[in-house]
Amino acid sequence: MTEFTFFAAIAVGFLGGTHCVGMCGGIVSALSLSIDQPKKTPLSFLLAYNVGRIISYVIAGAIAGGLGALLAANSSLHSAQTGLSIVAAGFMFLMGLYIAGWSSVLSKVEKAGGVIWRQLEPLGRRFLPVKQTDHALWLGMVWGWLPCGLVYSVLIWSLSAGSATEGMWLMLGFGLGTLPNLLAMGVAAQQLKQWMHKSWVKQSAGVLLITFAFIQLARLIQ
């Protein structure tokens, strides 16, 4: 994996912050409110929750990268990786439209992921209210599988990474990129949510993601 790819994954996670706040912000706020240990700082629980979430992303990335490698091994390596990269860029383009509020196509993909989520959600609720740091960690690992178009876009990107290790690093970069927004959401939820819901913020993030999708396609053509 090139440094560009890793830092690009971080940038995608950060730019998708408006979507992350919408999808996970309520969970993070609930986590802060459900803490059953007033003497403990919420930051330790928020960090544990987000570490758990990123661990799930890394596991999913390793699985996706491994599946992509198997697919490439049973077909032309270059054509398989190119095809998956094109699909990933297409999803990124749709994600940009979705975040900007210009299209809701990707919401249908998120609904499809709800089949698995309905089985996992009750498991996550077992750790509420959060009484210990490890509860927050396990909660994050469960909630990391929440249906999310942005995560799906990067997972498809991981499919084209070439190996389980590359897919793992790609999703790690993405997870790190989402971290600032969700940590800020836990500390200043209402203020950040109001700012993230501004049309120009969502549209700016959407345009940048669309631009990134075209950059990815341009790199494939070269």
Residue 129's SS3 state is: coil
CA–CA dist 113, 92 (Å, integer): 17
| Residue indicated by tokens 């999913």 | 60
For residue 216, which of 44, 74, 57, 4 has the smallest C-alpha distance?
A: 4
Considering only CA atoms, which of 25, 33, 15 is closest in space to residue 143?
A: 25
- Confirm whether 221 is domain-assigned: no
Per-residue confidence (pLDDT) for residue 2, from 0 to 100: 61
State the burial class of residue 18 (Cβ atoms within 10 Å of its Cβ: 0-12, 13-18, 19+): buried
Residue written as tokens 């950040």? 192
What local confidence, expressed as pLDDT, does residue 194 receive? 65
Residue 7 in domain: yes
| Cα gap 62→64, rounded to integer Å | 6
Q: Residue 179 has what pLDDT?
A: 85
pLDDT for 83 equals 78
Q: What's the token pair of residue 213?
A: 């999708």
pLDDT at 20: 65
Distance (Å, whole) CA 92 – CA 106: 10
pLDDT in tens, 187-216: 655 566 666 667 788 888 888 889 888 888
Which residues of the chain carry a pLDDT beneath 50?
none
- Give me the domain span that covers residue 58: 3-216
Helix (H, G, I), strand (E, B) or coil at 161: coil
Residue 2: which residues within 8 A CB-CB, separation 6 or more? Answer: none
Task: Judge contact between 29 and 197, C-beta under 8 A.
Answer: no
What is the token pair recorded at 15?
A: 């730019």
Number of other CB atoms surrounding residue 132 within 10 Å: 14
Q: Residue 189 domain-assigned?
A: yes
pTM: 0.82
CA-CA distance, 19 to 116, in Å (whole number)? 20
Looking from the CA of 204 toward its CB, the CA atoms found within 13 Å total 11
Distance (Å, rounded) from C-alpha 160 to C-alpha 80? 8
Q: For residue 23, what pLDDT is reported?
A: 59
Task: Give how many domains the chain has, as a whole number.
Answer: 1
Residue 203 in domain? yes
